[in-house]
Structure 1
Amino acid sequence: MQESTGKLLPVYGAELFAQTLTYAPVSNIAPPANYVLGTGDEVQLQIWGAVDLATKLVVDSKGQITIPKVGAVTVAGISVGKLEPTLKAHVNKVFTNIELSASVAKLRSIQVYVVGQAQRPGTYTLSSLSTLVNALFASGGPSANGSMRAIQLKRGSQLVATIDLYDFIAKGDKLNDPSLQPGDVIVIPPAGPRVAVTGAYDQAAIYELKPGRNKVGELLALGGGVPTLATPQKALLERIDPSARQSPRQVQEIALNPAGLQQPLRDGDVLTLLPISPAFGNAVTLQGSVAQPLRHAWTSGMKVADLIPEPEALISRDYYLRKNAFVQLQPEPEEAGPEGKANDGLPGQLKPVRNARQNLKLRDESSKAEGAAILDSFSEGKRQINWDYAVIERLNKDTLSTQLIPFNLGKAVLLHDPEHNLPLQPGDVVSIFNQTDLRLPTERQSRLVRIEGEVAAPGVYQVKPGETLRQLIKRIGGLTPQAYVFGTEFTRESVRQQQQKNLDQVIAKLEASLSSQSSTQLANLGADRAAQAAAMVEAQKQSQQQQLARLKSLRSNGRVALELSPTQNSLAALPDVPLEDGDRIVMPSTPGFVAAFGAVNNENVFVHKPGRTVEDVLRIAGVTEDGELDQAFVLRADGTVVARKDRSGWFGGSFDSLALMPGDTVVVPQKVDRESKWTFITRAVKDWTQILANLGLGIAAINTL
C-alpha cells in the first residue's frame, strides 16, 4: 500500500488497541441478575429473625456453599436473580420466622487462552464477567497480520462464536460479544483480503474485506459514507491483475454514485477519493483596504459599483477600533500603602489633599499620554484609499493564465463611469489599495506634520504638495515673540531609522572588537604572564560589557541639524526644507542658560549672558585635572556639534572664544589611560563628537556615556 500511495496508512481499528493497559481481574463489582454462579464465587449471606447470621461463603469445587446449621446448598448453575429464593427455601426447612438477604460479594476469576495472530498471545486470568472483546483488549488485539473480521471463540471442541470487530469499532455493537467461561480459547486467524482507502477521506486506512460485504459503499460506510468534500463524479481505483505479467497494476475511474458504490473490491485494491475543487462557482472576492474582506455572491450583470455600493464599505474596522479606544474609562489610581495607609507620613487630615493632588497629577499625565496617542492616531488614520487605482484579478480559463485588469476606483464607485465600472465574472478578485500599499505621487500623498511650541497655532497639519517648513509656519500664523529659532527641533522618521541603523552598526563593531580583544591581549602577554593576567582580562571584559550595555540603551531621535545662523531669530532664518509625512517640529522658547557637562568641577547650568564664551563657562565650571580639553566640544541648541579640533584655524576663531547661544552645552571628556579598561572603546571610536552629531544623540546620550 505504501508503494502505491506514498503514505504509510494505518490498519483500520488498530489504534483502538494501541494503549497498553493492565487487565487485572475485576472481582468487587455487582454482577447482573443473569450472571450464573460457579466455583470460586463468594456469597454474602445475612439471616435475621429466629436466628441471626452474617457470613461469606465461597462456592466450592462441587458447586456448593455450606450454611451453618442448615448444610450444603448447591448454587452453581443458578443465576444471581434466583440466589435469594433458592437459599431461603433451604433455610426455611430448618428455621421458621426468618428473613434472608444474599448477594455475590466477590466474583471468581477465569482463565482463557488467546492464540493465533494476536499482539500478545498467551494465557490470561480475567474476571468471570469478561467477554471476548475484554480478552482481546487484554492481549493487545490482533497483530498487523491478524484478522479483525473473523475472530473465533472455541469452547472444548465446539466453535461457540465468530465475531466481526468492525461492527464494534464502527457501530459500537456488542450484541454478538459472548461471555467467557474458564478454559475458553480465542483464535485470531490471519487477515483476509485487504484494500486501502486514501485521499479525501477522513478514515484513510487499510481495511479488511469480508465475504459478502466487499462493495465500495459498504466499505465507505465504515467511515461515515462518501465525504462531502470528496467529488462524487470521479474516484480512482488501482487494482493488481496477476495475469498481466508486464504491467500487473491497472487503474480505472469510477463514480461515487449508486452504481459505483456497488462496485466490488478485491485484495490489493487502492481506492483514492478526489477532493472537490476549492473554486467558488458564483462568488467574487473583495480584499485589501476594505471594511470586510469577504467573498460575495455573484449575480448576472454584476459590476464593481454593485460590489462596493458606497464609500463606507472601504473604511476598515481598525479605524473605528482606534477611535473607540480613546473614550474608554481610565481606572482610578490605587491608594498607596498597606491597609489603606499612606506611606508618606502625612497626618490623616491631609490625606484628602494629598490624594486629590495625586489624582490630578496622574490624570494630567494620563491626559498628556492620551493626547499624544490621539495625535499619533492621525498618522495611522491617514492611510487613505488610493482612488486612482484598483485591480481585478481574473483567471482566463481558456489559457489558464492570470489577468490583471486595472481601473480607476473613484470613477467606478463615485461616478459610475462605464469605462471603469467594469462587469465582474465569477471567481474575480477585486483588490483595493491605500497609499501605504502603493506610494502615490507627491501631490496626492497625505502628509501629516506635527508642530508644537512657540507658533501661533500648534497642532497636526496636512501639508500641501511641496510645502516647506517656513511656508507651513507662515500659513498657520507665524511665530510667537518668545520663539527661539536657533533652537528649533526638527525630527524626521526616515532620518531616525537611518540614524538608529548606523548606531546599531557602531555597536556591532564594538562588540566584535570586544570579542577579539581578550584573546589578543593574552597572546601578546606570552604564556608565562597569561595565567597571571587572566583575572585582570576577565574584569576588564566585564567592565567593557557594561559600557556596551549603556551604548545599547541609546536611541536616536531622528533630529535633523538645520545649521541655523545664531544671530538671526526670524522666520526667514529657517531653511526651505520640503516637509515629509511624520515630520515633527518643536519651536522652543528662548532658554536663559547654558550648561557644562563632563570633567568639570561644577557640572551644572549657568545663566546665559550675551557674549559669554566657551572659555568663560569653563572658567566658572572649573575643569578637573583629568579633563581632556583637546577633545572638548559644544553641543549647540540647533543640534550641531562644534569641537576644538574644528576651530583650530587662524581665520575661524579659536574654540575658547566661541560665543555660546542659549541652550548650548559645553562637554569636556575625561582623559583616557591608553592601558585602561576603556582602551578598546577609544581605539574603535575615534571621535565622540562625530557619533553624537551623525547618530542624532543629545544631552541624554552624554549623561548615559
Structure 2
Amino acid sequence: MQESTGKLLPVYGAELFAQTQTYAPVSNIAPPANYVLGPGDEVQLQVWGAIDLAAKLVVDSKGQITIPKVGAVTVAGISVGKLEPTLKAHVNKVFTNIELSASVARLRSIQVYVVGQAQRPGTYTLSSLSTLVNALFASGGPSANGSMRAIQLKRGGQLVATIDLYDFIAKGDKLNDPSLQPGDVIVIPPAGARVAITGAYDQAAIYEIKPDRNSVGDLLALGGGVPTLASPQKALLERIDPSAKSAPRQVQEIALSQTGLQQLLRDGDVLTLLPISPAFGNAVTLQGSVAQPLRHAWTSGMKVADLIPEPEALISRDYYQRKNAFVQLQEEAEDANSDGKAGDALSGQVKAVRNTKEKLKLKEESNRAEGAAILDSFSEGKRQINWDYAVIERLNKDTLSTQLIPFNLGKAVLQRDAEHNLPLQPGDVVSIFNQTDLRLPTDRQSRLVRIEGEVAAPGVYQAKPGETLRQLIKRVGGLTPQAYVFGTEFTRESVRKQQQKNLDQVIAKLEASMSSQSSAQLANLGADRAAQAATLLEAQKQSQQQQLARLKTMRSNGRVALELSPTQNNLMALPDIPVEDGDRIVMPSTPGFVAAFGAVNNENVFVYKPGRTVDDVLRIAGVTEDGELDQAFVLRADGTVVARKDRSGWFSGSFDSLALMPGDTVVVPQKVDRETKWTFITRVVKDWTQILANLGLGIAAINTL
C-alpha cells in the first residue's frame, strides 16, 4: 500500500487499542440481575430476626456456600435476581421469623486465552463480567496482520460466536459482543482482503473487506459517507490485474454517484478521493490596505467602484485599533488604610503623603510616555493609500498566464473615471497598496518631521515637497529669543541606521581583537612570567568583556553634525538642507556652562564666560599625570569634534586658544599604554571622532565607556 499511495497509512481501528485495558471492567462493581453465580463469587449475607448473622461467603468449587447453623446451599447457576429468595427459603427451613438480604460482594475471576494474530497473545485473567471486546483490549487488539472482521470465540472446542469489530468501532454496536466464561479461547485469524482509501477523506486508512460488504459505499460509510470536500464527479481506483504480466497495476475512473458507490472492491485496491477545486465560481478578491480583505460576490457588470463603493472601505481595521489604544480608560487605585490604631495615625499620614507623591510621579511619567506614543503614532500617516496605483490580477484561462492590469485608484473610486473604473471578472484579485509598499516620487511622499524646543510652535509637521530645514522652521513660526542655534540637535533615521551598522562592525572587530591580543601576549612571555601574566590577562579579559557588554547595549542616536557657525545665532545659520521623513530637530535654549571630562582632576561643568578657551578650562579642571594631552579634543554643542591634531597648523590657530561655546565639552583621554576603563576600545577604534560621529554615540559614550 505504501508503494502505491506514497504514504504510510494506518490500519483502520488500530488506534483504538493503543492504550491497554482502557475499557477493562473491575471486579468490585454490582453485577446485573441476570448475572449467573459461579465458583469464586463472594456473597454478602445479612440475617436478622430470630437470629442475627452477617457474613461474606465464597462460592466453592462445588458451587455451594455454607451458611452457619443452616448448612450448605447450592447457588451456582442461580442469577443474582433470584439469590435472595433462594437463600431465604433455605434459612426458613431452620429458623422462622427472619429477614434476609443478600448481594454479590466480589465477582469471580475467569481465565481466557487469546491466540492467533494478537498484539500480545497469551492467557488473561479477567472479571467474570468481561466480554470478548474486553479481552481484546487486554491483549492489545489484533496485530498489523490480524483480522478485525472475523474474530472467533471458541468454548469447549466449539465455535460460539464470530464478531466484526467494525460494527463496534464505527457504530458503537456491542449487541454481538458475547460474555466470556472460564476457559474460553479467542482466535484472531489473519486479515482478509484489504483495500486503501486515501486523498480527500478524513478516515484515510487501510480497510479490511468482507465478501458481503465490499462496495465503495460500504467502506465510505465507516467514515461518514462521501466527504463534502471530495469531488463527486471523479475518483481514482487503482487495481491489480494478475493477468497483465508486464503492467499488472491498472487505473480506472469512477464517479461517487449511486452507481459508483456500488462498485465492488478487491484485495489490493487503492481508492483515491480527489478534492474539489479551491476556485470560487463567482468571487472577486479584495486584498491589501483595505478595511475588509475578503472575497466578495461577483455580479454581472461589476466594476472597481462597485467593489470599493466608498473611500471608507480602504481604512484598515488596525488604524482604529491603534487610535483606540490611546484612549482606554485606566482605573485609579484608591488609597486604603485598614489600620485604625491611634499610635499609627501619624505613620499612616506619612505613608499616605509618600504614596501620593509616588503616584503623582508615576502619573507624570505615564503621561509623558503616552504623549511620546501619540507623537510616534503620527508616523502611521505614512501608511496612506496609494491613490495613483492599484492592480487587478487576472488569470487568462486560454493561456493560463497571469495578467496584471494597473489602474488609478483615485480616478476609479473618487472620480468614477470610466477609463480606470475597470470591469471585473470572476476570479479577479484587486490589490490596494499604501505609500510604504511602493516608493513614491519625492513630491508625493508623506514626510513627517518632529520639531521641539525653542521654536514658536513645537510639534510634528508634514513637510512640503522640497522643503528645507530652514524653511520648515520659518513656516512654523521661527525661533524664540532663547533659541541656541549652535546647539541644534538634528537627527535622521537613515543616518542612525548607518551609524548602528558601523557600531555593530566595531563590536565585531573588538571581539576579534580581544581574542587574538590575549593569545599573542601569552605567546611572547617567558615561562617564568607566564603564570603571573595569565592571571593578569584573565582579569584584563573580564574587564574588556564588561566594556563590550556595555557597548552592545548602546544604540546610535543618528545625530548629524550641522557644522554651524558659533557666532551666528539666527535662523540663517542653519544649513538649507531638505528634510526627510522621520527627521527630529531639537532647538535648545542657551546653556550656561562648559564641561571637562576624562583624565582631569575635576570632572565637572563650569560656568560659561565669553572668551574662555580650552586652556582656561584645562587649567581650572587640572590634567592628571596619565592624561594624553596630544589626544585631547572638544565635543562641540553642534555635534562636531575638534581635536588637537586638527589645529596644529600655522594658520588654524592653536588648540589651547580655541574659544569655547556654551555646551562644549573638553575631553582629555588617558594614555593608551595603561588599561583603563576605556583605552581598550579607543586602542582598537583609534579615534574618538569615530566613536562620537561615525558611531553616533555622543557624550553618553564617554560616560559609559
Give TM class, smaller chain: over 0.9
Three-state SS of the structure 1 residue aligned to 2:250 is strand
1:336 Cα deviation (Å)? Answer: 12
1:362 Cα deviation (Å)? Answer: 2.9
Query: What are the superposed Cα offsets for residues 457-492 of structure 1, whole Å, 9 maximum, x if unpaired?
Result: 111111110000111111122111111111111111
Q: Which moved more, 1:270-279 or 1:531-540?
A: 531-540
1:334 Cα deviation (Å)? Answer: 8.2
| Structure 1 residues 133 and 405: alpha-carbon distance in aligned structure 2, compared to 1, 3 A threshold | same
| Structure 1 residues 359 and 138: alpha-carbon distance in aligned structure 2, compared to 1, 3 A threshold | closer
| Structure 1 residues 236 and 674: alpha-carbon distance in aligned structure 2, compared to 1, 3 A threshold | same
| Structure 1 residues 302 and 485: alpha-carbon distance in aligned structure 2, compared to 1, 3 A threshold | same
The question of whether the paired residues in 2 share the 8 Å contact of 1:201 and 1:230 is answered with: yes
CA distance in 2, matches of 1:382, 1:116: 74
- 1:174 and 2:180 are equivalent in the alignment: no
1:348 Cα deviation (Å)? Answer: 5.2
Three-state SS of the structure 2 residue aligned to 1:634 is strand
The question of whether the paired residues in 2 share the 8 Å contact of 1:379 and 1:448 is answered with: yes
The question of whether the paired residues in 2 share the 8 Å contact of 1:335 and 1:342 is answered with: no
Three-state SS of the structure 1 residue aligned to 2:345 is coil
| Structure 1 residues 380 and 675: alpha-carbon distance in aligned structure 2, compared to 1, 3 A threshold | closer
| Structure 1 residues 683 and 478: alpha-carbon distance in aligned structure 2, compared to 1, 3 A threshold | closer
Percent identical pairs in the alignment equals 91
| Structure 1 residues 650 and 340: alpha-carbon distance in aligned structure 2, compared to 1, 3 A threshold | farther
1:347 Cα deviation (Å)? Answer: 5.9
What is aligned with 1:347? 347
Query: What are the superposed Cα offsets for residues 42-87 of structure 1, whole Å, 9 maximum, x if unpaired?
Result: 1111100011111111111221112122222111111001100111
RMSD value, Cα: 2.3
1:694 Cα deviation (Å)? Answer: 1.6
1:518 Cα deviation (Å)? Answer: 2.4
1:526 Cα deviation (Å)? Answer: 5.2
What stretches of structure 2 of length at least 5 have no aligned partner? none
| Structure 1 residues 699 and 495: alpha-carbon distance in aligned structure 2, compared to 1, 3 A threshold | same
1:24 Cα deviation (Å)? Answer: 8.2
The question of whether the paired residues in 2 share the 8 Å contact of 1:333 and 1:359 is answered with: no
Alignment of 1:634-653 (within 5 A): 634-653=634-653
1:677 Cα deviation (Å)? Answer: 8.9
Q: Which moved more, 1:594-603 or 1:528-537?
A: 528-537
Q: Which moved more, 1:349-358 or 1:38-47?
A: 349-358
Three-state SS of the structure 2 residue aligned to 1:347 is helix
CA distance in 2, matches of 1:303, 1:73: 95
What is aligned with 2:667? 667
1:299 Cα deviation (Å)? Answer: 1.1
Equivalent residues, number: 705
1:527 Cα deviation (Å)? Answer: 5.7
1:224 Cα deviation (Å)? Answer: 1.0
TM-score, normalised via structure 1 length: 0.96
Three-state SS of the structure 2 residue aligned to 1:389 is strand
1:517 Cα deviation (Å)? Answer: 2.5
The question of whether the paired residues in 1 share the 8 Å contact of 2:24 and 2:137 is answered with: no
| Structure 1 residues 676 and 698: alpha-carbon distance in aligned structure 2, compared to 1, 3 A threshold | closer
| Structure 1 residues 373 and 343: alpha-carbon distance in aligned structure 2, compared to 1, 3 A threshold | farther
Query: What are the superposed Cα offsets for residues 576-620 of structure 1, whole Å, 9 maximum, x if unpaired?
Result: 110111111111111111111111111111111111100001111
Alignment of 1:258-407 (within 5 A): 258-332=258-332, 349=349, 354-407=354-407
| Structure 1 residues 321 and 481: alpha-carbon distance in aligned structure 2, compared to 1, 3 A threshold | same
Query: What are the superposed Cα offsets for residues 221-276 of structure 1, whole Å, 9 maximum, x if unpaired?
Result: 11111111111111000000001111100000000111100000000000001111
1:344 Cα deviation (Å)? Answer: 15
Three-state SS of the structure 1 residue aligned to 2:192 is coil
What is aligned with 1:656? 656
CA distance in 2, matches of 1:106, 1:357: 74
Query: What are the superposed Cα offsets for residues 500-556 of structure 1, whole Å, 9 maximum, x if unpaired?
Result: 111111111101111222222222225665445332222221111011112112211
Query: What are the superposed Cα offsets for residues 404-431 of structure 1, whole Å, 9 maximum, x if unpaired?
Result: 1000000000011111011111111111
| Structure 1 residues 25 and 528: alpha-carbon distance in aligned structure 2, compared to 1, 3 A threshold | farther
CA distance in 2, matches of 1:202, 1:65: 56
CA distance in 1, matches of 2:341, 2:602: 41
The question of whether the paired residues in 2 share the 8 Å contact of 1:393 and 1:428 is answered with: yes
1:626 Cα deviation (Å)? Answer: 1.6
The question of whether the paired residues in 1 share the 8 Å contact of 2:22 and 2:137 is answered with: no
Q: Which moved more, 1:432-441 or 1:513-522?
A: 513-522
Q: Which moved more, 1:353-362 or 1:546-555?
A: 353-362
1:278 Cα deviation (Å)? Answer: 1.0
The question of whether the paired residues in 2 share the 8 Å contact of 1:513 and 1:680 is answered with: no
| Structure 1 residues 237 and 595: alpha-carbon distance in aligned structure 2, compared to 1, 3 A threshold | same
Three-state SS of the structure 1 residue aligned to 2:135 is helix
CA distance in 2, matches of 1:556, 1:344: 52
CA distance in 2, matches of 1:254, 1:340: 88
What is aligned with 2:253? 253
CA distance in 1, matches of 2:60, 2:349: 92
1:622 Cα deviation (Å)? Answer: 1.1
The question of whether the paired residues in 2 share the 8 Å contact of 1:198 and 1:272 is answered with: yes
| Structure 1 residues 526 and 497: alpha-carbon distance in aligned structure 2, compared to 1, 3 A threshold | same
| Structure 1 residues 264 and 359: alpha-carbon distance in aligned structure 2, compared to 1, 3 A threshold | same
1:683 Cα deviation (Å)? Answer: 3.7
Three-state SS of the structure 1 residue aligned to 2:182 is coil
1:676 Cα deviation (Å)? Answer: 7.7
1:698 Cα deviation (Å)? Answer: 1.6
CA distance in 2, matches of 1:699, 1:338: 50
| Structure 1 residues 447 and 292: alpha-carbon distance in aligned structure 2, compared to 1, 3 A threshold | same
The question of whether the paired residues in 1 share the 8 Å contact of 2:337 and 2:348 is answered with: no
Three-state SS of the structure 1 residue aligned to 2:674 is coil
Alignment of 1:495-574 (within 5 A): 495-525=495-525, 529-574=529-574
Three-state SS of the structure 2 residue aligned to 1:61 is coil
1:201 Cα deviation (Å)? Answer: 0.7
CA distance in 2, matches of 1:287, 1:151: 58
| Structure 1 residues 251 and 136: alpha-carbon distance in aligned structure 2, compared to 1, 3 A threshold | same
The question of whether the paired residues in 1 share the 8 Å contact of 2:484 and 2:589 is answered with: yes
The question of whether the paired residues in 2 share the 8 Å contact of 1:25 and 1:109 is answered with: no
| Structure 1 residues 567 and 342: alpha-carbon distance in aligned structure 2, compared to 1, 3 A threshold | farther
CA distance in 2, matches of 1:168, 1:671: 89
The question of whether the paired residues in 2 share the 8 Å contact of 1:540 and 1:677 is answered with: no
| Structure 1 residues 378 and 677: alpha-carbon distance in aligned structure 2, compared to 1, 3 A threshold | closer
Q: Which moved more, 1:259-268 or 1:622-631?
A: 622-631
What stretches of structure 1 of length at least 5 have no aligned partner? none
CA distance in 1, matches of 2:361, 2:182: 87
CA distance in 2, matches of 1:306, 1:25: 67
CA distance in 1, matches of 2:594, 2:569: 18
The question of whether the paired residues in 2 share the 8 Å contact of 1:25 and 1:125 is answered with: no
| Structure 1 residues 357 and 28: alpha-carbon distance in aligned structure 2, compared to 1, 3 A threshold | closer
The question of whether the paired residues in 1 share the 8 Å contact of 2:113 and 2:123 is answered with: yes
The question of whether the paired residues in 1 share the 8 Å contact of 2:670 and 2:679 is answered with: no
| Structure 1 residues 113 and 698: alpha-carbon distance in aligned structure 2, compared to 1, 3 A threshold | same
1:193 Cα deviation (Å)? Answer: 0.4
TM-score, normalised via structure 2 length: 0.96
CA distance in 2, matches of 1:153, 1:28: 26
What is aligned with 1:618? 618
CA distance in 1, matches of 2:472, 2:625: 50
| Structure 1 residues 136 and 557: alpha-carbon distance in aligned structure 2, compared to 1, 3 A threshold | same
1:364 Cα deviation (Å)? Answer: 2.5
The question of whether the paired residues in 2 share the 8 Å contact of 1:336 and 1:342 is answered with: no
CA distance in 2, matches of 1:672, 1:342: 66
1:333 Cα deviation (Å)? Answer: 6.4
Three-state SS of the structure 2 residue aligned to 1:45 is strand
1:628 Cα deviation (Å)? Answer: 1.2
The question of whether the paired residues in 1 share the 8 Å contact of 2:672 and 2:683 is answered with: no
| Structure 1 residues 337 and 396: alpha-carbon distance in aligned structure 2, compared to 1, 3 A threshold | farther
CA distance in 2, matches of 1:677, 1:438: 47
1:21 Cα deviation (Å)? Answer: 4.4
Q: Which moved more, 1:16-25 or 1:196-205?
A: 16-25
Query: What are the superposed Cα offsets for residues 438-468 of structure 1, whole Å, 9 maximum, x if unpaired?
Result: 1111111111111111111111111110000
Three-state SS of the structure 1 residue aligned to 2:575 is coil
| Structure 1 residues 339 and 412: alpha-carbon distance in aligned structure 2, compared to 1, 3 A threshold | farther
Three-state SS of the structure 2 residue aligned to 1:564 is coil
| Structure 1 residues 348 and 214: alpha-carbon distance in aligned structure 2, compared to 1, 3 A threshold | closer
| Structure 1 residues 314 and 354: alpha-carbon distance in aligned structure 2, compared to 1, 3 A threshold | same
Query: What are the superposed Cα offsets for residues 2-30 of structure 1, whole Å, 9 maximum, x if unpaired?
Result: 11011111111111112244998832111
1:315 Cα deviation (Å)? Answer: 0.8
Q: Which moved more, 1:56-65 or 1:491-500?
A: 56-65
